[in-house]
Amino acid sequence: MKVKQALSLKTILSVAVLFVMLFVFMIKSSEASTVNELKTKIEDGKSKLREIDKEIAELEQKSIEVGKNTQSLKNALSKLDVDKNKIEADIKATENRINITSLSIEKLGMEIIDAQRRIQTNTDAISSAFRKIDAAEGTTFIETILTYNNVSALWDEVETMLRFQIGVKKNTGELKILRNDLQNKKTEKEKNKKELLNIKSELNDQNELIEFNKEEKSQLLSVTKSKESNYKKILAEKKSLSDAFEKELLDFESQLKIAIDPKSIPSVGAGILFWPLDKIFITQEFGNTEFAMRTNAYKGKGHNGVDFQAAPGTKVKAALNGVVVGAGDTDKVCKGASFGKWVLLRHNNGLSTLYAHLSLIKTFEGETVKTGDVIGYSGNTGYSTGPHLHFTVYATQGVKVMDKQSSVCKGVYRMPFADLRAYLNPMLYL
C-alpha cells in the first residue's frame, strides 16, 4: 500500500509537470503559424514601402530639376504633373504604412491572447496538480510521508517533490514575466493605435494637397489654353502685380514706427530656433541677395527672410513653442502678389516667426503649438517662382497682423506688417 502510494504520487507529479509542458507547447505551436503568416505580410509590406520610398525620392529629384525652369508653359505643366505624382506616391506610401501598422497591431493582439492563454493554462495546471496530490489515495501529502517505513523511498519521494517545487517556482517566475510582457504589449498597442490615427490624418491632408494641385493645373490650362504666349503674358502680369504690391507694402511699412526695445530681442546664437523643415536646402538667404540686387524684387529693402527648398506637401514645423497670432491667405484678395497661405507664431523669447507660401494650413489663430508641431505643408501660393518655404523672423514688438486696404488689389487683405527694423536675420538664430 505504501509503495502504491509512492508510485501514485510520483505518477501524479510527473503527469502534472508533463501536462503543463505539453499544453504550453501545443498553444505555442498553434499560434506560431498564424503569427509567422503576419510576420511575412509585414515584411512584404515593408519591401513594397522601400520601393515606394525610392520612387518618392526620384520624384523629388525630378521636381527639383523641372522646377529650376518654370518660365515656360511646358515646364510649369510638367512641374505640376511631377508634384501630383509625388503626392500620389506619398499617399500610396502612407496607405502602405497604415497596412503595416494594422498588421503589427493584429500580430500584437494575437501575442497578447497567447500570453493570456499561457498564464491561464499554467495557473490551472499547477492548481490541478496540487489538488490531485492532496487527494491521492484519499490522504494528504503529509499523511502519505508519515506512513513511510522505507527511508530510501521517502527521500526519493522528497526529491521528486523538491523538483516539482522548483518547477512551480520557475512557472511562477514565468507568469510574472508574462504579466509584465502583457502590460508592455498593451502599452505598445495603444501607442500603435495613436500612430495609426495620426497617419490617417496625414493621409487626409495628402488628399487635400492632391486636390489643390489638380485645381491649380486645371486653372493654368484654362487660363493659358495651352498657349505659350498666354503663359508668358500671365507671368508678366503676375510680376507687375507683385512689384506694385511690394512697393505699396514698402510704403506702408516704412511709415510704421513701432517702439522696439533692443533688450526684448534675445542675443543671437545657434539653436535658439529649430529648423522648420526636416531637410534643409537654402535657395535664398536674408538681406541683399544676388536675386534681390539683380531683380530689385524687394524694392531695395532686401529679402526679409530665408527661402528653403521644399517640394509641395512637405511638412512645415513650428520653430519653437508659441502661439498662433495669425493665419491667412493673401491669394483670396491679391492672387500671386504676396505670402499666399501664411502662419505667424509668437514665441515667449521676444521673437516671432512667419511661414509663407503654404499649400495647406494645419493650425488656427489662438492655438498653442509646441516645437516641431506640424503647422502646415509647403506649397507655391502667393508670389513664388517655385514651391518653397519662406521663413521670416521678427522682433515680436515690431510686427502686427493687420487688415489693409490695397489700391493694387482692390480689396482688404490680412497679413503681418512690420516696422522695417523688426526684420531679423533667421540664420543668426537657427
pLDDT by residue for the chain (430 residues), tens only, comes to 444 444 445 555 555 554 555 444 444 554 566 778 777 877 877 787 788 778 778 777 776 666 666 667 777 777 778 878 888 888 888 888 888 888 887 887 787 777 777 777 766 766 666 665 565 545 555 555 555 555 455 556 556 666 666 666 666 667 667 777 777 877 887 788 788 888 878 878 888 888 887 788 888 888 788 788 887 887 787 878 877 887 888 888 888 888 899 999 999 999 999 999 999 999 888 876 565 555 555 445 667 899 999 988 899 999 999 999 999 999 898 888 889 999 999 999 999 999 999 999 999 999 999 999 999 999 888 888 778 999 999 999 999 999 988 888 888 989 999 998 899 999 999 9
Residue 194: strand, helix, or coil: helix
* Alpha-carbon span 366 to 388, nearest angstrom: 25
Determine the pLDDT at residue 410.
83
Determine the pLDDT at residue 4.
44
Determine the pLDDT at residue 236.
80
Instruction: Choose among 418, 355, 365, 367: nearest CA to 391.
Output: 355
Hey, where are the domains in the chain?
2-217, 227-428
According to CATH, the topology of domain 227-428 is Glucose Permease (Domain IIA) (2.70.70)
pTM of the model: 0.69
How many other C-beta atoms can be found within 10 angstroms of the C-beta atom of residue 42?
Answer: 18
Which sign, positive or negative, has the C-alpha torsion 104, 109, 110, 112? positive
Half-sphere exposure of 164 (CA within 13 A, CB side): 24
> Taking each helix axis from N to C terminus, what angle separates 228-255 and 73-135, rounded to the nearest 10 degrees?
80
Determine the pLDDT at residue 293.
54
CA-angle at 208, arms to 204 and 209, nearest 5°: 115
Half-sphere exposure of 255 (CA within 13 A, CB side): 5
Determine the pLDDT at residue 2.
41
Instruction: Choose among 152, 153, 154, 159: nearest CA to 142.
Output: 154
> Taking each helix axis from N to C terminus, what angle separates 151-224 and 2-67, rounded to the nearest 10 degrees?
20
* Alpha-carbon span 197 to 176, nearest angstrom: 32
CA-angle at 221, arms to 216 and 222, nearest 5°: 95
